[in-house]
Amino acid sequence: MEKAKVYYTDFRTVAFGDGLPTKLKKLIKKAGIGQMDMDSKFVAIKMHFGELGNISFLRPNYARAVVDVVKELGGKPFLTAITDIANWIKEEGLEGYEKFPVSVEINPHLDDTEEMIAAAKKVSAISENFVIKIPCTEAGVAAARRLEKEGVRTNVTLVFSPAQAIWPAKNGSLFVSPFLGWKEANGEDCKQYIKDIVDIYKNYGFYGKTQIICAAIRTPKQIVDCAVAGADIVTTGLAVYQDAIKHAYTRQGIETFINAWDNTVTE
């Protein structure tokens, strides 16, 4: 049997040299991807989302490099990660956005209402659990309004003011995602901002119909602020949730209990 050919590239980069995505493009071209007939054909790209600082996983920008090459060859690339999620949902018996909603993003380059709607319908058709993330722009809000009327649930995201948050609720979007981390880093009062959104929703009967997802949470304090204000959901990294469980006095209390336990006289 003929030995397989193995192609590799040095992951180290130098100033003004090729970055890793460019090296990846050169690598797959050298390996012979150009010999594959992709013209006008759909090409699946298996996507494994990476971990920060861990290059043994495929990062999104690496996948983009592969996508660019496939397009150069006339192919129609698509990622299969969302298909994997849809299959897992079925395997676990979690069908239906009411039971297990999953927010899925469409191409962020889209800024036309009709194009957003077309992309959203294509993705939502993969699973009834998929809730389509739409940016809070004029075109995005218009797209979300029509999608909701046609039964495609939406999550209007990149919301940074109470004024923006009104429109998704009026349109009947399932979720609205006001961001906190970026605003607080800019010195803004995020606690009042979320409270204002909750109050507006309660004033006009939107509360509970359009659920408020506090996004880009960076600290346990922000989780508390959102909970006190009455937000429905928070999204953040695992490390923030872990920090929210910790407290110095809890550790001190455990050590006190241990000391008492160890020094208790028993028969």
| DSSP letter string, 41-76 | -EEEE-----BTTBTTS--HHHHHHHHHHHHHTT-E
- Rounded distance, CA 3 to CA 50, Å? 30
Entry field: residues in the chain: 267
Choose, from 133, 149, 170, 195, the residue flagged as catalytic.
Answer: 133
- Rounded distance, CA 160 to CA 166, Å? 11
In order of 8, 32, 41, 58, the CA distances from 1 in angstroms are 22, 20, 31, 30
133: annotated active-site residue: yes
Report DSSP state, residue 35.
G
Q: Are 134 and 164 in contact (CB under 8 A)?
A: no
**Sign, CA torsion 40/41/44/45:** negative
In order of 220, 236, 241, 251, the CA distances from 245 in angstroms are 9, 14, 7, 11
Cβ neighbors of 194 (< 8 A, separation 6 or more) are 178, 180, 212, 214, 225, 226, 229, 231
Q: Are 136 and 164 in contact (CB under 8 A)?
A: yes
Active site (catalytic) residues = 133
